[in-house]
Amino acid sequence: MSTKQGVKLLKKIRLLEPTMPTRATGVFKGEASGFLNWNDILYEKFYDVYTQVLNNFWKPSQVSMVQDKKQWGELDKNIQDKFLEILTMLSGLDSLQTPTLIEILKFIKDPAVKAILANFAQQESIHNESYSYVNSSLIPLERQKELFKKIQSHPQVIKRNKPIVDAYQRFVDEPTPQHLFEALIHSTNLEGIYFYLAFAFYYNLGRQQLMTGTATMISYIHRDEMVHFDFIATLVQILMYEYPELNTEENVQFIYDTIGKAVELEKEWSEEMLGDIEEKADIDLDEFHDYIEYLANKRLRMFGLDNLYEDYKENPMPWIKTFDDESINLTKTDFFEQKSRTYAQVSTSNGFDEL
State the Cα–Cα distance between residues 97 and 272, nearest whole angstrom. Answer: 24
C-alpha–C-alpha distance, residues 65 and 268, integer Å: 31
Q: What is the mean pLDDT of residues 145-154?
A: 89
pLDDT at residue 3, as a whole number: 58
Range of the domain at 289: 2-350
Instruction: Say which residues have a Cβ less than 8 Å from residue 179's Cβ, sequence separation at least 6.
Output: 167, 170, 171
What confidence score (pLDDT) does residue 307 get?
96
Q: Answer yes or no: is 184 within a domain.
A: yes
Determine which one of 50, 131, 168, 291 is catalytic. 131
pLDDT digits (tens, 9 = 90+) for 266-282: 999 999 999 999 999 99
| Angstrom distance (rounded) from CA 46 to CA 44 | 5
Q: Please, how many CA atoms are within 13 Å of residue 330, restricted to the half-sphere of its CB? A: 10
Give alpha helix (H) positions in the chain.
45-55, 66-72, 77-105, 111-138, 141-152, 155-173, 177-189, 196-207, 212-242, 249-274, 278-281, 285-302, 325-330
Of the ranges 5-14, 248-257, 329-338, which is most confident? 248-257
Domain assignment present for 299: yes
For residues 27 and 30, give the distance between their C-alpha atoms in angstroms, rounded to a whole number.
7
Give the confidence band of 17 by pLDDT, cuts at 50, 70, 90.
very high
3-state secondary structure of 329: helix
- Is 131 catalytic? The answer is yes
Q: State residue 327's pLDDT score.
A: 60
Predicted confidence (pLDDT) per residue in 70-94, tens digit: 999 999 999 999 999 999 999 988 8
- pLDDT for 157 equals 83
pLDDT for res 151: 83
pTM (2 decimals)?
A: 0.88
| Domain assignment present for 248 | yes
d(CA 275, CA 269) in angstroms, rounded, equals 9
CATH number (domain holding residue 233): 1.10.620.20
Asked if residue 283 lies in contact with residue 184, where contact means CB atoms within 8 angstroms, the answer is no
**Nearest residue to 211 via CA among 60, 71, 61, 64:** 71
Q: Are 68 and 102 in contact (CB under 8 A)?
A: no
Q: Is the pLDDT of residue 333 over 60?
A: no
| 355 domain-assigned | no
The yes-or-no verdict on residue 298 having pLDDT over 90 is yes
Give the number of domains in the chain.
Answer: 1
Round the average pLDDT of the chain to a whole number and report it: 89
Q: Is residue 249 assigned to a domain?
A: yes
Torsion sign (Cα): 225, 98, 206, 79: positive
